[in-house]
A and B are shown apart, each in its own frame.
Chain A
Amino acid sequence: KQEVTQIPAALSVPEGENLVLNCSFTDSAIYNLQWFRQDPGKGLTSLLLIQSSQREQTSGRLNASLDKSSGRSTLYIAASQPGDSATYLCASQMDSSYKLIFGSGTRLLVRP
């Protein structure tokens, strides 16, 4: 059974810092991995999707990488801004399934 873990649970950084959020999964037979942003009391905004055949995806200041063999994905945020403050979730989709399996998220605070 796939388990998705995110470390750290919370992170506080000063504005301008580059940071890395970590996501690990126990079963490497994933179809893709998706990163989301969730603001308090709000829905999930898709940030990046990495297919199993890809190593990384980039969108603006965000870069996500995927290493299936080690069961890890990272989300790199460059030059963080207070507006980046939110909870970041990763979710894996398995080869044989439609569902996303979510981690518990990393709550990010970027201090001005």
Chain B
Amino acid sequence: EPEVTQTPSHQVTQMGQEVILRCVPISNHLYFYWYRQILGQKVEFLVSFYNNEISEKSEIFDDQFSVERPDGSNFTLKIRSTKLEDSAMYFCASSTMAYEQYFGPGTRLTVT
């Protein structure tokens, strides 16, 4: 069964460093999403992406964040200058339409 994959599974970085989280959505899906979950808190929406552009973003998704679909398979989230409060589990998701979303296993980001 097709699934969303994410790499790395765990990323440790120092405050102020740039990180890129990678995702491979399900191949025939057209909508892509990033969410995050800070330990013990709700899953929060960051951004949705369709037709090579951001379709919606949350207040969390400020200028420090960017997304890109560099080729036909990958979808990336970049954090330019990480802060301690960026430590969280980051989930990528994809869907065929604005419909049932399928989530990847997540990348645990630890900022020290």
- A residues bordering B, Cβ < 8 Å? 31-32, 34, 36, 41-46, 49, 89, 91, 93, 97-105
**CB–CB A89/B56 < 8 A:** no
- B residues bordering A, Cβ < 8 Å? 31, 33, 35, 41-45, 48, 50, 55-56, 58, 91, 98-106, 108
**CB–CB A103/B103 < 8 A:** no
A97 to B91, CA, bound (A): 19
Which residues on the A side are within 8 Å of B55 (C-beta)? 98
**CB–CB A97/B56 < 8 A:** yes
CB contact between B103 and one of A46, A93, A98 (< 8 Å): that residue: A46
A52 to B83, CA, bound (A): 39
A-B contacts, 26 listed (Cβ < 8 Å): A32-B100, A34-B101, A36-B103, A42-B105, A43-B91, A43-B103, A44-B91, A45-B103, A46-B100, A46-B101, A46-B102, A49-B100, A89-B43, A97-B56, A98-B33, A98-B48, A98-B50, A99-B33, A99-B48, A99-B56, A100-B43, A100-B45, A102-B42, A102-B44, A103-B42, A104-B41
Which residues on the B side are within 8 Å of A97 (C-beta)? 56
Which residues on the A side are within 8 Å of B31 (C-beta)? 98
Main secondary structure of the interface of B (DSSP, over half): strand
Main secondary structure of the interface of A (DSSP, over half): strand
CB contact between A93 and one of B43, B50, B91, B98 (< 8 Å): that residue: B98
Which residues on the A side are within 8 Å of B48 (C-beta)? 98-99
